[in-house]
Amino acid sequence: MSGLAITQAPAPSLPMRFLLAAPAWGMFAGVWLAVQGEGALMSRWAPATVVLVHVVVLGVLGNAMLGALTQFLPVAALSPLAGRRTLPLLHVGLNAGLASFVVGLSKGIGLALHLAALLLGGTLLAFAVLAGVALFRGKGARWLRGGLGVALFSLAVTAVLGVLGLLALTGDVSVALERVVDVHASFGLVGWVLMLIAVVGAMTLPMLQGTRAVPPRWVVGWVVCTMVGLLAGAVMRVWAGAALLAATTLAAAWTFAAASLWLQLRSPHRRNPVLRLSWTVGVVAIASAVALMPLESMGTGTALWVGTLALGIGLPVLVTGMTMEIVSFLAWIHLRGVVPRGRQIPGVGRLVPEADKRIVLALHLIAAAGLLAALALQKGHLASGLLIALAHASTLVVLVRCRFRVVAEARIPAARSSVRLPVRE
pLDDT per residue over 36-66, tens digit each? 998 888 888 899 999 999 999 999 999 999 9
Q: How far is CA 72 from CA 2, 76, 149, 164, 262, in A?
A: 15, 5, 13, 30, 25
CB atoms within 10 A of CB 112: 19
- Is the sign of the CA dihedral 420, 423, 424, 425 positive or negative? positive
- DSSP one-letter code for 188: I
pLDDT band at 8 (very low <50, low <70, confident <90, very high): confident
Lowest average pLDDT, out of 18-22, 165-169, 195-199, 407-411, goes to: 407-411
- The pLDDT value recorded for residue 45 is 86
Do the beta carbons of residue 29 and residue 392 sit within 8 Å? Answer: yes
pLDDT band at 90 (very low <50, low <70, confident <90, very high): very high
Structural domain contains residue 422: no
- The pLDDT value recorded for residue 342 is 66
- The pLDDT value recorded for residue 417 is 40
Cα torsion 161, 166, 172, 177 to 10°: value is: 60
Q: How far, rounded to the nearest angstrom, does the alpha carbon of residue 114 sit from its chain's CA centroid?
A: 25
Q: Measured at the alpha carbon of residue 122, what is the angle toward residues 223 and 152, in degrees to the nearest 5?
A: 10
- The pLDDT value recorded for residue 420 is 40
Average pLDDT over the chain, rounded to an integer = 90
The highest-confidence range among 51-65, 72-86, 332-346, by mean pLDDT, is 51-65
Residues in the chain: 425
List of residues 6+ apart from 139 with CB closer than 8 A: 78, 79
CB atoms within 10 A of CB 425: 9
Structural domain contains residue 389: yes
CATH number reported for the structural domain that contains residue 82 in this entry: 1.20.210.10
Report helix, strand and coil shares of the chain as percent, to nearest 5: 80, 0, 20
Using the predicted structure, report yes or no on whether residue 145 has a pLDDT greater than 60: yes
User: Between residues 349 and 78, which one has the greater pLDDT?
Assistant: 78
Q: How far apart (Å, rounded) are the C-alpha atoms in residues 58 and 42? A: 21
Write the pLDDT tens digit of every residue in 246-292. 999 999 999 999 999 999 988 888 888 999 999 999 999 999 998 88
Question: What range does the domain containing 195 cover?
Answer: 7-403
Lowest average pLDDT, out of 132-146, 217-231, 403-417, goes to: 403-417
Structural domain contains residue 425: no
User: Between residues 328 and 408, which one has the greater pLDDT?
Assistant: 328
User: Between residues 302 and 115, which one has the greater pLDDT?
Assistant: 115
Using the predicted structure, report yes or no on whether residue 139 has a pLDDT greater than 80: yes
Using the predicted structure, report yes or no on whether residue 422 has a pLDDT greater than 50: no
Do the beta carbons of residue 220 and residue 146 sit within 8 Å? Answer: yes
Q: How far is CA 412 from CA 44, 107, 349, 409, in A?
A: 53, 51, 19, 5
Mean pLDDT, range 152-160, rounded to an integer:
97
Mean pLDDT, range 69-90, rounded to an integer:
91
- Is the sign of the CA dihedral 394, 396, 402, 406 positive or negative? negative
- The pLDDT value recorded for residue 298 is 55
Structural domain contains residue 423: no
- The pLDDT value recorded for residue 174 is 87
User: Between residues 362 and 296, which one has the greater pLDDT?
Assistant: 362
Q: How far apart (Å, rounded) are the C-alpha atoms in residues 127 and 274? A: 31
Cα torsion 263, 264, 268, 271 to 10°: value is: 140
Using the predicted structure, report yes or no on whether residue 112 has a pLDDT greater than 90: yes
243-278 per-residue burial string, b: 16 or more CB within 10 A, e: under 16 = ebbbebbbbbbebbbebbeebbeeeeeeebebbbbb
Using the predicted structure, report yes or no on whether residue 299 has a pLDDT greater than 60: no
pLDDT band at 72 (very low <50, low <70, confident <90, very high): very high
Do the beta carbons of residue 189 and residue 161 sit within 8 Å? Answer: no
- DSSP one-letter code for 340: P
pLDDT band at 191 (very low <50, low <70, confident <90, very high): very high
- The pLDDT value recorded for residue 197 is 96
Write the pLDDT tens digit of every residue in 355-414. 999 999 999 999 999 999 999 998 999 999 999 999 999 999 999 999 888 888 777 765
Q: How far apart (Å, rounded) are the C-alpha atoms in residues 383 and 387? A: 6
Domain count, the chain: 1
Write the pLDDT tens digit of every residue in 195-205. 999 999 999 99
Do the beta carbons of residue 26 and residue 364 sit within 8 Å? Answer: no
Q: How far apart (Å, rounded) are the C-alpha atoms in residues 53 and 58? A: 8
Return the percentage of the chain with pLDDT > 90, whole number.
Answer: 72
Return the percentage of the chain with pLDDT > 70, whole number.
Answer: 94
Q: How far apart (Å, rounded) are the C-alpha atoms in residues 411 and 389? A: 33
Structural domain contains residue 340: yes
Structural domain contains residue 352: yes
Structural domain contains residue 101: yes
Q: Measured at the alpha carbon of residue 254, what is the angle toward residues 368 and 194, in degrees to the nearest 5?
A: 70
Lowest average pLDDT, out of 59-68, 91-100, 208-217, goes to: 208-217
Cα torsion 84, 86, 89, 94 to 10°: value is: -70
Structural domain contains residue 356: yes
Using the predicted structure, report yes or no on whether residue 70 has a pLDDT greater than 70: yes
| R_g (Cα) of the chain, nearest Å | 21
- The pLDDT value recorded for residue 413 is 62
Instruction: Report the candidate in 217, 99, 235 with the shortest Cα–Cα distance to residue 157.
Output: 235
- The pLDDT value recorded for residue 358 is 96
Instruction: Report the candidate in 315, 372, 332, 310 with the shortest Cα–Cα distance to residue 22.
Output: 315
